[in-house]
Structure 1
Amino acid sequence: MTPQEMEARIVRYGDLRPCKTAFIDAHTPGSNQKENFTIIGGGVSESPDQHVHIRDTPGFNIGAAGQPPKCRNSLHSHRTAEVFFVLKGRWRFFWGRWGTAGEVVLEEGDIFNIPTGIFRGFENIGTDYGMIMAILGGDDAGGGVIWAPQVIEDARDHGLVLGRNGKLYDTKQGQHLPDGVDPMPLLTDAELAAFPEPTTADVVPDFVARYWDLMALSDRQPARVIAADGVLRDRPGFEVEFLSRGSIPDTPYTTERHEVLMPMRGHWRLSWDGGATVLNPGDTMAVPPGIARSLTPSMTGEASLYRVRNTDDPAGLTRRL
């Protein structure tokens, strides 16, 4: 594969194109400064303005959320896996019907495999603009967002209406639901009762992995983070590994799986028969199957990288509480 063909499979951090109208809370005070990025696959955006960098999916989607301090993402649930790791900043994740059942604070490099079937939200509690990277289960992640009723009501008060077709309509811009399209109904009390209310102690031990623990585990080989035999045991249709300077393969390797490389720290040199490139923190690269490759940190100092591969597991319901 030529360098030009491989470069087309890289989304550079500096080239990310945000969407500020991706979700129903885009006008709601406290959430109206969010930026959503769809890197691989269409993600779960509800806006036609969302730019998709790489449309072909390897069995999962890659996205990101960027937020200034004190900005939050409203309470919602997913039908498939949602995994975040913190690229920049300090973030508080919270969950439950009203966001008060439990919470955890994640620092840079920490990863959270959020249980399916619970309402969750997050906010940047740092002092600067923050970024979290996301892995979403399945090729088609669209239509997978279920909003808490108060989120839909607050959005309507600020001019945004979500249709049953999963699309947003901005009444402030003169948009209205098309004929034959009803508004998204609110969940009933009976439906809401089916959503668990786990405590922090229920969630953190089995669903959160800390960066410095993964650095220690990857001293001699890649740390298995999300897998049937991983630190966070799960089978969501993809596997996540963590690599540091001490876990680099001695020789080129190949895999018949799709592989996505997401550097966390340091600059990583990827070489293959036909070329080489350097990946930087925040870059995302989709490496096709069957290509022999070598991966090495290109400079001294701290280096870490998340590696995601598709599996044969169905991208359906993952770990629930």
Structure 2
Amino acid sequence: MTAPQIVRYGELIPCKTAFIDAHTPGSDQKENFTIIGGGVSESPDQHVHIATPHGFNIGAAGQPPRCRNSLHSHRTAEVFFVLSGRWRFFWGRWGDAGEVVLEKGDIFNIPTGIFRGFENIGEDYGMIMAILGGDDAGGGVIWAPQVIEDAKDHGLVLGENGKLYDTKKGQALPDGVAPMPLLTDEQLKAYPEPTTAEVVPGYVARYWDMVALADRAPVEVIGADGILRDRPGFEVYLVTRGSATEDRHRHDRPSVLMPVTGHWRVEWDGGADVLAPGDTMSVPADLDHAAWPSMTGEAALYQVVGTDDPAGATWRG
């Protein structure tokens, strides 16, 4: 039986040239991490820690204070939870339609089909963990037109093949590859501009509210019956000290464990290990396992399991 794979927080390999805004002032200190699956990086320098398909991708963004991720959209789900720092998420064509501030442990199932960005507004380096729907994460990133235009002034050009070319390094678009076309005014009409009041109630879950709900049993955060009702091709659960158990269980597909707080002992047939916040564990399908806090104090972790639902647009039912 295959053992779980662990990617330790301290062993994450960043890519600082992952996206088209990598040279744009205000966004040029971002670090992108691709932990499980190919992700949506546009750079050949991106390191993939675990390439095994799970039906979803796991990644992360690390940013110093006042560093911003530019406005973009995805065709499948993009779910973030805050591992460290204080983050402002904003959305809309120009990023001014609405916003929300998230703290450690908070989770945001960003609606598909809207432009979104985020910035670290804390005082220290912060990290947010990301879950992207589908094995191919929707085929890449859709950038707001101004992001592509701004990037040209700083040497980066995105080809229609989804790859970046750095003119400061003497790179140019290959023969037969045109620049990524800008969305037209007509195409931009398909991207809605929901307000904060329209987005936050159905798409944001606060950590301490979830901890209270998970006092006796794991709480379904994202799923058909979740706090945030959605079917993006995966389900997300929050497990706390009160709802953890040493009883082993299994899933018929790979699952992922990501601690937010505390240290967690994970045991499976043939082995055991301890996870800390920022670590990511991929548990193989059909492996009996259990996880529970190994030390006193606050302890919570997110569990992600794929489903048979298509990794399409945000669902409401």
Which TM-score applies when normalising by structure 2? 0.98
Task: Give matches, 1:52-201, under 5 Å.
Answer: 52-141=48-137, 143-201=139-197
Deviation at 1:292, TM superposition (A): 1.2
Gaps of 5+ in 2: none
Moved more, 194-203 or 242-251: 242-251
Letter of the 2:99 partner, please give it. E
Aligned to 1:214: 210
Gaps of 5+ in 1: none
Deviations 1:50-104 (CA, angstroms, capped at 9, x unpaired): 0000011210000000000000000000000000000000000000000000000
Letter of the 2:64 partner, please give it. P
Aligned to 1:271: 267
Distance 2:315 2:147 in 1: 25
Moved more, 248-257 or 22-31: 248-257
8 Å Cα contact 2:76-2:138 kept in structure 1: no
Deviation at 1:142, TM superposition (A): 6.2
8 Å Cα contact 1:82-1:114 kept in structure 2: yes
Deviation at 1:161, TM superposition (A): 0.3
Which of residues 223, 242, 253 in structure 2 aligns to 1:246? 242
Which of residues 288, 294, 298 in structure 1 aligns to 2:294? 298
Distance 1:271 1:190 in 2: 54
Distance 2:169 2:128 in 1: 30
Which of residues 277, 280, 289 in structure 2 aligns to 1:281? 277
Aligned to 1:204: 200
Distance 1:130 1:255 in 2: 32
Aligned length: 316
Change (3 A) 1:111 1:98: same
Deviation at 1:266, TM superposition (A): 0.3
Deviation at 1:145, TM superposition (A): 0.8
Moved more, 153-162 or 136-145: 136-145
Deviations 1:288-317 (CA, angstroms, capped at 9, x unpaired): 111111211000110000000000101112
Distance 2:166 2:139 in 1: 19
Distance 1:97 1:147 in 2: 10
Which TM-score applies when normalising by structure 1? 0.97
Deviation at 1:272, TM superposition (A): 1.2
Distance 1:41 1:153 in 2: 29
Aligned to 1:14: 10
Deviation at 1:241, TM superposition (A): 0.2
Letter of the 1:54 partner, please give it. I
Letter of the 2:90 partner, please give it. F
8 Å Cα contact 1:99-1:120 kept in structure 2: yes
Which of residues 224, 236, 258 in structure 2 aligns to 1:228? 224
Deviation at 1:250, TM superposition (A): 4.9
Q: Secondary structure at the match of 1:252?
A: strand
Which of residues 27, 42, 47 in structure 2 aligns to 1:51? 47
Distance 1:134 1:145 in 2: 14
Deviation at 1:257, TM superposition (A): 2.8
Distance 1:222 1:83 in 2: 19
Deviation at 1:255, TM superposition (A): 2.0
Q: Secondary structure at the match of 2:242?
A: helix
